[in-house]
C-alpha cells in the first residue's frame, strides 16, 4: 500500500474494559474501524455508548484491553510513553468534550504549545498559532487567557490548536457543544476542509446535522458498533440547482 492510500487510523477488534468482576464496565466491545486520508467519519450513539472511549483509544490517550490501534502505520501498543507523546504532538489533533485549554497560557500560547514541545522556536510556534487563529477568524483572541473568553471562543481556540501544524489525524469530541448553529457550522466546514486537504477526521456528535458533514457515520450502542452508513452514491438529483 502506498503512503497515500494507507489508512491513517485503524481500529482492529478493539475492546476496552474498565474494572473487573462485579464492577466491570465494557466501554467498547470488539470495535473495528478504518479512517483513510481525506475522510471524515462521524461517531454517533446514545450517552454512555462508548464514543469518547473510542476517540481516546484512537488518540492514544487510553490503552485497549484487547485488539490493535494503528495510527499512521504504527501500532500504538508498541510505543513507550515518550513515543506515544511524540505521536500525539505531531500527528494527532484533539478537541475534547470538556475544554482543556491551559488557564495560565494565552490563546496563542495554548495553540503553539504542542509545536514548542516538539522543539519549534517560540517565534515559529507563535506565527503558526496566529495563522491557525486567522483561519478561524479569531486573531483578536491571540493574547487573551481562557478566563477572558466566552465558552464558544474557548471552544474555537481548542479547535485551532487541534489543527495547528501538520496533523494528519484530527479527533473531535462534540466540538460544537458551546457554539451557536452558525459558528458550529463554520467549525465543521473547517474540519471538512482539513480532511479534504488530506487529513483523516473522527467526529463525535449527537447532532445529525453535524454528522451530515462526514463521509460516513458509525453508530455505537453499549460499546458495540451497530451500523455504518456506507458511502452511498450522492443523490445530486435531489434538487435541481436553480442557476
Partner 1 sequence: MSVKQGLLALLAEEPMYGARLRSEFEARTGGTWPLNVGQVYTTLARLERDGLVEPVGGSDDEGRIAYRLTAAGLSEIESWWLTPVDRDSTPRDELVIKLALAVTAPGVDVQRVVQAQRTATLRHLRDLTRLKSRASDEPSANDVAWLLVLENLLFAAEAEVRWLDHVESTLSRMPAAAVRRASAVDAVAGPSDTPRTAAALPKGARA
Ligand X SMILES: Nc1ncnc2c1ncn2[C@@H]1O[C@H](COP(=O)(O)OP(=O)(O)OP(=O)(O)O)[C@@H](O)[C@H]1O
Residue ranges in contact with partner 1 by CB under 8 A = 46, 189, 192, 207-209, 211-215, 217, 219, 226-227, 229, 232, 234-236, 238-243
Beta carbons within 8 Å of 104's beta carbon, 6+ residues apart: 145
**Radius of gyration over every alpha carbon of the chain, rounded to an integer in angstroms:** 18
Q: What share of the chain is helix, strand, coil (3-state, %, to 5)?
A: 40, 25, 35
User: Which of these segments, 30-38, 40-48, 129-137, 234-242, binds ligand X (CB under 6 A)?
Assistant: 40-48
E strand or H helix at 26: strand 25-35
β-pairing verdict for 200-204 and 40-44: parallel
Smallest distance from ligand X to CB 209, Å:
17
Q: Is 47 in the site for ligand X (CB under 6 A)?
A: yes
Smallest distance from partner 1 to CB 142, Å:
26
Smallest distance from ligand X to CB 61, Å:
11
What would the grid cell of residue 224 be?
458495540
* Binding partner selected for residue 243 from ligand X, Mg ion, partner 1, none, CB under the kind-specific 5 to 8 Å limit: partner 1
Choose between 18 and 189: whose C-beta lies nearer to ligand X: 18
* Binding partner selected for residue 124 from ligand X, partner 1, Mg ion, none, CB under the kind-specific 5 to 8 Å limit: none
Q: Is 49 in the site for ligand X (CB under 6 A)?
A: yes
What would the grid cell of residue 192 be?
471538512
Choose between 30 and 216: whose C-beta lies nearer to partner 1: 216
Q: Is 48 in the site for ligand X (CB under 6 A)?
A: yes
CB atoms within 10 A of CB 144: 16
Q: Is 27 in the site for ligand X (CB under 6 A)?
A: yes
Question: Residue 7 burial by CB count (10 A; 0-12/13-18/19+): exposed, middle or buried?
Answer: middle
**Are 107 and 144 a contacting pair, CB within 8 Å?**
yes
User: Which of these segments, 43-51, 117-125, 178-186, 207-215, binds ligand X (CB under 6 A)?
Assistant: 43-51
Q: Is 226 in the site for ligand X (CB under 6 A)?
A: no
Q: Is 154 in the site for ligand X (CB under 6 A)?
A: no
- Considering only CA atoms, which of 189, 147, 155 is closest in space to residue 173? 155
Q: Is 52 in the site for Mg ion (CB under 5 A)?
A: yes
SS3 240: coil
CA count, 13 A, side-chain hemisphere, 46: 5
Q: Is 139 in the site for ligand X (CB under 6 A)?
A: no
Smallest distance from partner 1 to CB 205, Å:
11
Binding interface with ligand X (CB under 6 A): 18-19, 25, 27, 45, 47-53, 97
Amino acid at each position: 500500500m502506498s503512503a497515500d492510500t494507507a489508512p491513517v487510523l485503524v481500529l482492529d477488534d478493539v475492546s476496552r474494559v474498565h474494572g473487573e468482576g462485579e464492577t466491570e464496565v465494557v466501554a467498547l466491545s470488539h470495535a473495528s474501524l478504518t479512517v483513510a486520508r481525506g475522510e471524515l467519519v462521524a461517531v454517533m450513539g446514545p450517552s454512555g455508548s462508548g464514543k469518547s472511549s473510542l476517540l481516546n483509544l484512537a488518540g492514544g490517550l487510553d490503552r485497549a484491553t484487547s485488539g490493535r490501534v494503528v495510527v499512521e502505520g504504527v501500532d500504538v501498543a508498541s510505543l513507550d510513553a515518550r513515543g506515544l507523546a511524540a505521536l500525539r504532538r505531531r500527528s494527532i489533533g484533539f478537541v475534547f468534550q470538556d475544554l482543556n485549554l491551559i488557564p495560565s497560557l494565552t490563546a496563542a500560547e495554548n495553540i503553539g504549545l504542542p509545536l514548542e514541545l516538539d522543539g519549534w522556536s517560540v517565534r515559529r510556534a507563535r506565527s503558526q498559532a496566529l495563522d491557525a487563529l486567522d483561519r478561524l477568524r479569531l486573531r483578536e483572541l491571540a493574547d487573551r487567557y481562557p478566563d477572558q473568553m466566552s465558552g464558544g471562543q474557548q471552544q474555537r481556540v481548542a479547535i485551532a490548536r487541534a489543527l495547528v501544524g501538520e496533523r494528519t489525524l484530527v479527533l473531535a469530541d462534540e466540538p460544537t457543544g458551546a457554539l451557536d448553529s452558525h459558528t458550529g457550522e463554520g467549525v465543521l466546514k473547517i474540519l471538512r476542509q482539513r480532511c479534504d486537504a488530506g487529513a483523516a477526521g473522527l467526529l463525535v456528535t449527537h447532532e445529525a446535522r453535524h454528522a451530515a458533514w462526514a463521509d460516513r457515520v458509525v453508530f455505537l450502542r453499549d460499546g458495540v458498533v451497530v451500523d455504518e452508513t456506507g458511502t452511498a452514491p450522492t443523490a445530486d438529483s435531489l434538487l435541481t440547482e436553480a442557476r
